[in-house]
A and B are shown apart, each in its own frame.
Chain A
């Protein structure tokens, strides 16, 4: 079965640079979520989109922005990167945005900021 695709899988950037992470949800999933997971921590919710509109916002820094495109893929744009942004970034998708729908996670993008 098709899974959530994230690219790139690994990314190394320097401080103050920008980064763009991409997410391709499972086919026919219309809701996308972004999470940030630091070492030894649980995933922290950043932002979600339903039918190409932002549906909820979590602890996403102002330096980050995201959008969902007409083909339902999503991109997380990160600017003025800081050392503390080094983390595993997950994208997840679900069939609908309701609570009963489980989220399926992609393999993650490991971002290292040096």
Chain B
């Protein structure tokens, strides 16, 4: 069965702190794709990153970084030196043959950055 678990329902930190959003996934497929999306208060869903199961390289994009570990089935997202504009709901999602290539979404983590 396909499943994405984002155990942190809500995280609140003070601006400039680093924060990590956890994502744990389950799939029987050996080939799969993982995604992170950001949904700010304005409501739109913004694509952040896609990672293929055969590429375990971590990725850094500015203040954002992603740690993909197949051994623990995790795809965690870290924001360094957080800013108020990072406040949003962040969704982790999975896609594979077993999901008929439809996105399986986590429940989302609401991130609140306080000034």
Which residues of A does B touch, CB under 8 Å?
A: 41-43, 45, 48, 56, 58, 88, 90, 92, 97-100, 102-108, 110
Task: Give the interface segment out of B15-23, B44-52, B68-76.
Answer: B44-52
CA distance A47 to B52 in the complex (A): 24
Given A43-B105, A98-B101, do A103 and B47 touch, yes or no (CB 8 Å)? yes
Question: How many pairs, one residue from A and one from B, have CB atoms within 8 Å of each other in the complex?
Answer: 51
Tell me, yes or no, whether B107 is within 8 Å of chain A by CB: yes
CB distance from B79 to the nearest CB of A (A): 20
Give 24 A-B contacts (CB < 8 Å), ordered by A residue.
Answer: A42-B105, A42-B106, A42-B107, A43-B45, A48-B102, A56-B100, A56-B101, A56-B102, A58-B102, A88-B43, A90-B45, A99-B32, A99-B33, A99-B95, A100-B52, A102-B35, A103-B47, A104-B47, A105-B37, A105-B45, A107-B42, A107-B44, A108-B44, A110-B43
CA distance A41 to B50 in the complex (A): 21
